[in-house]
Amino acid sequence: MKKILFFLSIIVFLTFFFIKHQNPEQSDQVLHLNMKAEPKTMDPRKGGDWYSSQMHSLFFEGLVKLYPNQSFKLAQAESYEVSDDQLIYTFHLRDTVWSNNTPVTAYDFEQSWKDILDPNFPSVNAQLFYPIKNADLAKKGVVSLDEVGIKAIDTKTLVITLEQPTPYLINLLSFCVFSPVNIKNDRENPNWTHKIGPNFLCNGPFVLEKWEQGDEIIAASNPHYRKTEDVHPEKIIFHIVENDTTTLQMFEKGLVDIIGDSLTSIPLEAIPDLGKKWKISREPTATTMIIAFNTGKAPFHHPKIRKAFSLSINRQQLVENIVYQASSIATNMIPPLLKQHRDRSFFKDNDVDQAKILLEEAMAEMGITKEAFEPVTLYYQSFSSVTSKVMQAIQQQWLDALGIFIKIESLDSRVIMDKLTHKDYFMCYTLWSAVYYDPMSILERFKYRTYAKNFINWENPEYVQLLNRSFYEQGETRFRTLEEAEELFLKEMPLIPLYHVDFVYIINPRLNIPLWGDRLLLPIPSN
């Protein structure tokens, strides 16, 4: 699930606008955007990368919808009730239809979710369903799908039974993986996501009008979408352009309406001049840049080694001199946005003296020398024009502080994802983004080593106990428990938090932007 809230974080979902272009060849209600990479799939059940998630939020809609101010509104659901013991949620669906004007049913929801929990179904988001009764066991093949706590009572009533109270459930359900697909169509046309046509059925605000691989995606307004007060353009045209400089040139020519949104970035070297010509805006996200360790590979199976590499990084130097989109250094695990901006620090930045001590202790305990690090390569994906500079700076900091040279290598995003998924790496620069607005969005992915998103290959029984305890807590008590889990995680340092990320973006001032939208394609300015 890349870049949310990420959203994906995260999570991060996007704002749709009415747009007025000076270019007479463009419609008043056509939004032009760039996207750095191709979505891997249009099927919301299978998505895990950032770009796919953004598409799913356009074309599909679940029971609940997240709004830019972190509030929620019922979407496909019209109402719901919760049992006294907080274990049973009963959702009543609206009278809504698919893009072919056939009804969206509770059976579509039930079967779409159960597909994800099928042991043979390829989904990296299955763990998000594990608060539901028997969901985990079904994915492991221990119990049948019929025993999972997801049941359509009739066409308009969906009942969810939980393993334990889940205070963040409504928040969780806003993520696009909980959107349904048209099950009848899916069974009759299993390749419906692979091509444009009448079988590509949606229930979200847009339909897929065009998808030219590697070039362009066009999302057009869905004429059968339910009546809402939400504001949408008639079309969103996504140009697939990886290079940030090319995207900037397109923006300056009026071919792209926004740069620096969740799908693009602004070249660092261009910032000073751009600031003289355009208003540069910033908004916080639920995204953190990290360096992941494969804790299953020596020498990074040792916590002291991992902590030494983390403490020897000068994050403040990176933020002040290189990373323009950083909001703050990350000496914690959870983006402040997910904790009501309670930004507690769990370790000291640039603590070189302690890093040296930990490194020497660990090498003595393991009986190794610095030559043990010679096979290590730090892989990275070029998220922006500054990524290589960040990697080179960290490489030099490690050499200066620890006397260890770590090779760095840039890889394509798909290769990076494959290496993380198969744990075929030592170190990898990547990010996490929340897929829903709650600390659990980050914490839960590392609960068990078997989880698809647990790419760090780490597990801790005490950590599991803390997360489980939080299910039965509310408010401040719950947040304190989750903070204990965060502190435990960072004591073992299975990854290195580097810095939390802002959107740094420019909107063409010729555009008339409404006050709000229903997604976070771009954050709404707070002023």
What is the set of domains in the chain, with CATH numbers? 64-188 (3.90.76.10), 284-505 (3.10.105.10)
Distance CA(467)–CA(460), nearest Å, equals 11
Distance CA(349)–CA(292), nearest Å, equals 17
Average pLDDT of the segment spanning 246-273 = 85
CA dihedral 490, 413, 218, 54 (to 10 degrees): -10
Residue 3 has pLDDT above 70, yes or no: no
Distance CA(92)–CA(80), nearest Å, equals 6
The pLDDT score that the predictor gives to residue 10 is 30
Distances (CA, A) of 28 to 43, 224, 237, 256: 30, 21, 13, 14
Distance CA(376)–CA(394), nearest Å, equals 14
Least confident of 75-89, 200-214, 226-240, 257-271: 257-271
Residue type, 269: E
Helix, strand, or coil (residue 393): helix
pLDDT in tens, 487-507: 999 999 999 999 998 888 888
Residue indicated by tokens 């020897």: 312
Please list, in sequence order, all residues whose beta carbon lies within 8 angstroms of the beta carbon of residue 167, skipping any fewer than 6 positions away.
470, 471, 473, 474, 478
More confident residue, 341 or 365: 365
Phi, psi dihedral angles at 260 (to 5 degrees):
85, 15
Nearest to 57 by CA among 106, 98, 95, 7: 7
- Show the tokens assigned to 417: 């994802």
Nearest to 176 by CA among 523, 524, 526, 520: 520
pLDDT in tens, 119-175: 999 988 999 999 999 999 999 999 999 999 999 999 999 999 999 999 999 999 999
Average pLDDT of the segment spanning 331-359 = 91
- Name the band, by pLDDT with cuts 50, 70 and 90, for residue 24: very low
- Name the band, by pLDDT with cuts 50, 70 and 90, for residue 14: very low
Residue type, 437: Y
- Name the band, by pLDDT with cuts 50, 70 and 90, for residue 341: low
Average pLDDT of the segment spanning 103-126 = 96
The pLDDT score that the predictor gives to residue 11 is 29
Instruction: Decide: 439 and 343 in contact? Cβ < 8 Å.
Output: no
Nearest to 150 by CA among 169, 168, 167: 169
The pLDDT score that the predictor gives to residue 208 is 96
Distance CA(408)–CA(177), nearest Å, equals 34
Residue 244 has pLDDT above 90, yes or no: no
- Name the band, by pLDDT with cuts 50, 70 and 90, for residue 298: very high
The pLDDT score that the predictor gives to residue 72 is 82
Instruction: Decide: 240 and 39 in contact? Cβ < 8 Å.
Output: no
The pLDDT score that the predictor gives to residue 386 is 83
Average pLDDT of the segment spanning 327-338 = 91
Helix, strand, or coil (residue 293): strand
Distances (CA, A) of 290 to 45, 203, 206: 26, 35, 33
- Show the tokens assigned to 258: 């926004």
Alpha carbon 379 to chain centroid distance? 20
pLDDT in tens, 35-78: 888 898 999 999 877 888 889 989 999 999 887 666 788 999 99
Residue indicated by tokens 């070039």: 215
Distance CA(236)–CA(375), nearest Å, equals 46
- On average, the pLDDT of the chain sits at 88
Cis peptide bond upstream of 299, omega within 30? yes
- Name the band, by pLDDT with cuts 50, 70 and 90, for residue 13: very low
Instruction: Decide: 114 and 108 in contact? Cβ < 8 Å.
Output: no
Distance CA(135)–CA(85), nearest Å, equals 19
Helix, strand, or coil (residue 30): strand
pLDDT in tens, 390-435: 999 999 999 999 999 999 999 988 899 899 989 999 999 998 888 8
Q: Is the pTM of this model over 0.95?
A: no
Nearest to 509 by CA among 272, 261, 278: 278
| Burial zone of 12 (CB within 10 Å; 0-12 exposed, 13-18 middle, 19+ buried) | buried
Distance CA(39)–CA(194), nearest Å, equals 12
The pLDDT score that the predictor gives to residue 521 is 53
Distances (CA, A) of 339 to 130, 241, 335, 376, 385: 23, 34, 7, 35, 30
- Name the band, by pLDDT with cuts 50, 70 and 90, for residue 18: very low
Helix, strand, or coil (residue 109): helix
Distance CA(232)–CA(480), nearest Å, equals 39
The pLDDT score that the predictor gives to residue 25 is 36
Instruction: Decide: 300 and 293 in contact? Cβ < 8 Å.
Output: yes
- Show the tokens assigned to 24: 């007479």
The pLDDT score that the predictor gives to residue 523 is 47
More confident residue, 153 or 321: 153
164: left (phi over 0), alpha (psi -120 to 50) or beta: beta
